[in-house]
Structure 1
């Protein structure tokens, strides 16, 4: 799984940071989180491809949605046939449908729009789900957590052979949770040769928000937390007034959640080209892997036990 930051800027785009958009490629399935203006150009520029299956919108401010009409029409020009599902916060359905059909345009492929509430599963995939969670901005908003199912524990081949399990299909059955009967009538249970379930990966994207306990709760032990970090400490009052977080506040959420990696994003134009103060203030609080996301940056998200 990898995340590509297509836009990392705040409400005002700059020459170095486009408005909000993050594309997640999970085993070949592409999911887009927010779609600021020009997102389709960023997708071309950074080579992510257009084959997204779902678009998850955190809220309806322009820097998160104005790329939707252009993206829809670009997909159509590329002769797309596959359907596209768009998910948004409560009260967003009519407005998102209007964006899809901006200027009277009617896409030739099916586009469905769905509202989701905090605590609900916005989308269930084959072995993962995208959950909506509470955020606090100046409008109806949600964040999204991509949470993979637990994986089977490691298979102990040596122990299986000791128990007399023949090499072959029986190994797979045991690993899949099925018991196996041997020729002498002995039954070998999966728990005898398979370790404890291993966690899947977790990616959490807040969109624009104040720092909340709900974010720390859903981001517990996340592999990557992408958090609003619009301002530094000296603009903390403005952050509170406008429904954003400072880098230090984002770092506190990451620390409390025990995440492996923190990405600071939605960077105000005042720090667009010089974000070092944001990184410094976040690093004061969170001693894990923290970075200020840059447009075009791709982050690989391995399993937590990949090095075991």
Structure 2
């Protein structure tokens, strides 16, 4: 994973590693490190820190650019992850959260994001997002519906490297939206809580019947055909998850899903979830969805 940081991200990373300029009146975003500590910090990565020629903050930026110039795919990743090592913030976990958020606000524009993995932080590469997933991510963030956003991020990241997990996560996107609607409307979950049953349970409350929407007679059949295709897509995504998803163990010699099919499932699930959320907002304006639907 070759990492190429923008100047804005370099500035943000330098602030975190060095603790900012000593002359700043505002509290530093990172941990303040004296020049000799910064020299030792970068030396651990084999990076020169020229504090004699430059003051602390400019020298930190120069060292980061050196790491980029070395063009080692692992080196810069290690530097970024070390900058947010939770062990350095044991006595101040709130500052650690602020540091991660500060860096992520910049890194996301370079196509990267810091995420917790066990007891450590890991830098991950964000997958390219098409129109439907991109719009769904934006809507999920806008309505503070983090469950769908997390499932979608997981699906996009895994599409090429672990398509079975991607299909499972894509299915979970639609399931999360349906479950949240049922929770908000205080409707009992269906006995079988697969994607098809959950969607069937919300069709009536959302009025997903073209004959009830006051449509012009000449397009009723057309809309019915589109909604029928929606049901077919939902059934297909559910079946793909059951037969080839990452939720179950696979026998020896199992043939993996083509990443193209996984991406098709992601884009289809995103379009379906987006349609359901927009229908919800139209039918129940002003009502929010629960952030994290229960698993039972």
Structure with the higher fraction of residues in strand conformation = 1
Structure of greater Rg: 2
- The TM-score range, normalised by the shorter chain, is under 0.3
**Structure-2-length-normalised TM-score:** 0.21
The structure where helix makes up a greater share of residues is 2
TM-score by length of structure 1 reads 0.20
